[in-house]
Structure formats: C-alpha cells, structure tokens
Amino acid sequence: KNMRYVLSQASQIFTLLVCVTVFNCKDKPVFTPSRLVVKYGDPASVICTCQQECLNEIFNIEHSVGKVTINRTTISWNIDNFTDWTARLQCYYNKAAENVSDPDVQCCTVLPLTVYKPPDKVSISFANHTGPLIEAHPYTLQCTVHNVAPVEKVKAIFYRGHSVVGQVQVNNSYGGKPMTHSYTLDVIPHKGEDGAAYWCAAELVLGPEGPQPPPVVISQNMTTTVYSNNIVYIILGILFAVVLLVIIGVIIWTRDYKNERTGQYDFAR
C-alpha cells in the first residue's frame, strides 16, 4: 500500500495521473462550490470533501495550477491569480482492490470550470452597407464583440432606442480562449423609424455561480436615416430624366458638329 501511495504521488507531480470516473462508486468526492466561475486574473478557491468510502484511502486533487492543502478528509485548493484558460481540477481517491489480482478502483469528480473575460469593446454596424436605409428593404445588423471569453456564453442583444429587436447566441464551442466574434440580426426598417438609434449589448451569461448581475458591455449608438419608397422613386425618376437629357444633348451636339464639318446646315429649323 505504501508503494501505491508513492507511485500515486509521483504521478501527481508529473501530472500523469489519468482519472477515470467509476460509475459504481458509492461515494464520489464532492466539490464546494459544485461549479467554479472565475474572472481571468482573479483569485479562486474550492474545497473537495472525501465521503465515507474514501476514508483512509489515497485522496488528492489533480491540478495544473494553484496549490492544495490536505486536512484529513478535506482538501483546499486556491490560486492568487487565475490565468490558465485550459486548467482542470479533478478530485480523486484510489481504493485498493480486495483481491490482489484485481485492479485498484479510482473514483473521481471533475469540477466544471469556466474562466471568463469581459469584452474590450462592443461595436455595431450594418453588414455590407453604409448610408441611408430604404423602408421595407432587408438589412443585416452586425454586433461585433472584441476579445471576449468564452464566446459561447455571450448573448448579443440588439436595441432600437429602448426596444429590444432581437437576441443572438452561438451554438458552437470555441475552446474558451478570448476571441472577437460578430453576431448578426436581420431587420426591415420602416419610415416611422427614421432617426432611430440602433445599438447592441454583449452580456456574459455565466449562470448562478457567476457574477450577479451579469457583466454587460454596450456599443455606441448608430443613428439611421430611412427613406420612403416614394422618395426613392422620385429620386430615381429625376436621375433618369437627367441622364436622358444628357444623352439627347450629346446626340444634338454630335449632329451639329458633323454638319459644321461638312458645311451642311438645316436652315429649315
């Protein structure tokens, strides 16, 4: 049994311990809190408690960062400055097999861990469009959230004035590290919205274990000008008339120029 303890401690030092969850464990180790949410760069701590079955067995926390303190059936883990995006914490105990020929049983609990970082800034724009809008035409709002983690925990909320026009979240996991991501929402403006201001907010939805209220960063206002279809048609008509007059003028000038070169004039005009 002493040899097993030495081997376990050595594997802990070199972080080579493979923790396999055994589903028939009577008493798994218990983390408090049961889920850890920590802001990048902040201190953090958890406690793992050994239940009835793991008393007098090899008992520890596998950790890549921080330090542990063992006090009989309780292990405390803490860190002053959490800066590891891929850290994992696993509390385990090794129970010797009753028969020498059988493998030892290892029972563990993995702590759900979320490291978050609020965005540096949030900006709003229309995708692939600048200038005034035309009523009843579709446009795509784009809310860009800069250098945030984890992206999958961000809820982008789009506003027009004080009214929410839509909310967007991503469904995929991006590995937890900070990145910049654009959230899009299709809108169809109306003439009554002329002069309205669009803006968006990025909210980190981290659950009850996270900070309350959730961290929120908002964009600048983007004031819009909306033209009605009638005005657009009038403008297009004027442009068409101008182009037509220019073409007629060019034709007349070209004809007169040719007549002047050949000495032929139409005196009947």
Measured distance CA(230)–CA(135) in Å, rounded: 10
pLDDT in tens, 7-22: 444 444 333 344 445 6
Q: Do 2-115 and 121-227 come out as alike in CATH topology?
A: yes
Quote the CATH superfamily of domain 121-227: Immunoglobulins (2.60.40.10)
Amino acid at 227: Y
Residues 175-195 pLDDT 10s: 889 999 999 999 999 888 899
**Residue 122 near residue 202 (C-beta atoms within 8 A):** yes
| 39 in Cβ contact with 212 (< 8 Å) | no
Sequence ranges of the domains in the chain: 2-115, 121-227, 230-269
Give pLDDT tens digits for 97-125.
666 666 777 888 999 999 999 999 999 99
Nearby residues of 224 by Cβ (< 8 Å), 6 or more positions away:
132, 133, 189, 193, 194, 195, 196, 197, 198
Percent of all residues in the chain with a pLDDT value above 90, rounded to a whole number: 54
Rounded Cα distance, 178 and 99, in Å: 49
> What's the pLDDT at 262?
63
Please give the model's pTM, rounded to 2 decimal places: 0.74
The CATH code of domain 2-115 reads: 2.60.40.10
- Strand order from edge to edge, sheet including 74-79: 30-32, 44-49, 74-79, 67-71
Task: Give the pLDDT confidence of 114-165 residue by residue, as tens digits.
Answer: 999 999 999 999 999 998 998 989 999 999 999 999 999 999 999 999 999 9
